Amino acid sequence: MLRPRQIYRPDNIDSIDAAGYCRDPVVFLHEVHQLVGGKLDDFHVAFREQWRPLVERDGSARLLWFWDHGHGTGPSYQAVSITAVQDWTAWGRVVDALTESAAGRAWYRDVAPLRSAVTGKLLLSVPWSPLKDVDVTRAGGQSGTPALYLHDTGWPFAGRLDDYVEALGRVFHPQTQRSQMIAIEACWRTCPGTGREDEVVLLQRILDWEAFARLLAGGESTRQRGGWMEEGLKYRDRWESKLLRTAPWSPRP
């Protein structure tokens, strides 16, 4: 669906077509699943064989990642999933499929013994995010080899969301590119009305586990002049990190 240029992010030329109209953004559904103890494997099967085909059936949404929360690094029996949805119109079709179809009702009935709670929010890519556009029409495969990710959620000071996002792109992103310990896969902000408004989600794939382990053991000096640990405190002093491991069947490793 197209809308007049001035309505959606006119400063982002990547979202403007040749006719001067802005394309609707890809919407990312982020869900945290709290599972019943001992039901992790059953939930994997149900999510893969029921939920995923239901959401992807008309080719306007695509599951990107499915992770388990690493044991010993946070809450027990927790999984995280991120799904790309083509646009807001497609999101309406996803909601209809989940709530109005017989397959959707069967999913909620069958998953009830496996999952005690789910928390979802919709995310939009920030301008500098490496991941913005996703071809949801392409069928996803499976990664095969699990990978480790650092999933950070940051809460900037009131009124500093845009400044925080800009600083992440200006300072933190280049810092990760130089160190090559982690690679930023995506950076999102929460869509208003679907969660905390001043919230940023940063997804980072761990490339060098030995270097990351040394960071965990020794910490990072806040005295690094001009580094992110110093610069970031201008915009926020609260964040939460999760260590996630992709499922073998996750479309993206």
List per-residue pLDDT tens for the chain, 253 residues long. Answer: 434 333 333 344 344 444 334 468 999 999 999 999 999 999 999 999 999 999 999 999 999 999 999 888 888 999 999 999 999 999 999 999 999 999 999 999 999 999 999 999 999 999 999 999 999 988 766 667 889 999 999 999 999 999 999 999 999 999 999 999 999 999 999 998 888 889 999 999 999 999 999 888 887 654 555 688 889 999 999 999 999 999 999 999 9
The verdict on 126 and 153 lying in the same domain is no
22 contacts 16 by C-beta, under 8 angstroms: yes
Res 17: pLDDT: 44
Res 143: pLDDT: 63
Report if residue 232 sits inside a domain. yes
The verdict on 100 and 56 lying in the same domain is yes
Task: Please tell me the distance from the alpha carbon of residue 157 to that of residue 168, in angstroms, as a whole number.
Answer: 14
Provide the domain limits for residue 207. 148-245
* Phi, psi of 12, deg, nearest 5: -100, 95
The pTM score is 0.87
- CATH number for the domain spanning 72: value is 3.30.70.100
Res 58: pLDDT: 93
What length does the chain have? 253
80 contacts 32 by C-beta, under 8 angstroms: yes
Task: Please tell me the distance from the alpha carbon of residue 205 to that of residue 202, in angstroms, as a whole number.
Answer: 10
Task: Please tell me the distance from the alpha carbon of residue 111 to that of residue 116, in angstroms, as a whole number.
Answer: 9
The verdict on 39 and 152 lying in the same domain is no
* Phi, psi of 95, deg, nearest 5: -60, -45
Which of 62, 104, 64 lies closest to 81 in space, CA to CA? 64
Report the domain count for the chain. 2
Report if residue 88 sits inside a domain. yes
Res 225: pLDDT: 54
Among residues 88, 105, 140, the one where a domain terminates is: 140
Res 60: pLDDT: 94
The verdict on 103 and 166 lying in the same domain is no
The verdict on 227 and 111 lying in the same domain is no
Who contacts 245 (Cβ-Cβ below 8 Å, separation ≥6)? 67, 68, 69, 70, 146, 147, 148, 149
Res 219: pLDDT: 76
Task: Please tell me the distance from the alpha carbon of residue 161 to that of residue 167, in angstroms, as a whole number.
Answer: 10
